[in-house]
Structure 1
Amino acid sequence: MLQQRHPLIARALTRLAIDEMPDPIDMMFVMANVYTLMNEVAEEIGAHDEQAFVARLAEGLAAGLG
């Protein structure tokens, strides 16, 4: 479960409250965590799926920073 007091979530909620977009890098970490949680509960999602998802996130981050 995502905790509202977690620093990444709290920062995103604070930014949204003042009509700013959450930081995209923060959101990548949040998405990776959500996918990990999905892997833990959904039989259809395996470790290989999670690794591929995180690899795509990393590629997107690298492309955005490059």
Structure 2
Amino acid sequence: MAYEYFQKYVAKSSNALKTGFERCSMQITIAITLPYHQHKEWSKENVKTRTTRSRTREDKVPGTPIL
């Protein structure tokens, strides 16, 4: 997911006529935003896994009726 975002960002903002400063600032922006979006996706997946694991444990507790 983050990689697709990165590709769209580069395709939209790449321009051969940019000054050195614009190119440098764009590289810094990419270096900051890409890991942020990757972490955001990882966090979503981690929460889903934790929730699923929690539900599985609740089902295995002895004496708990399964509805």
Structure scoring higher RCO (CA < 8 A, sep ≥ 6) equals: 2
Both structures adopt the same fold (TM-score exceeding 0.5)? no
Higher-Rg structure is 2
TM bin, normalised by shorter chain, reads 0.3 to 0.5
Structure (1/2) with the larger helix percentage: 2
TM-score of the aligned structures, taking structure 2 as reference length: 0.42
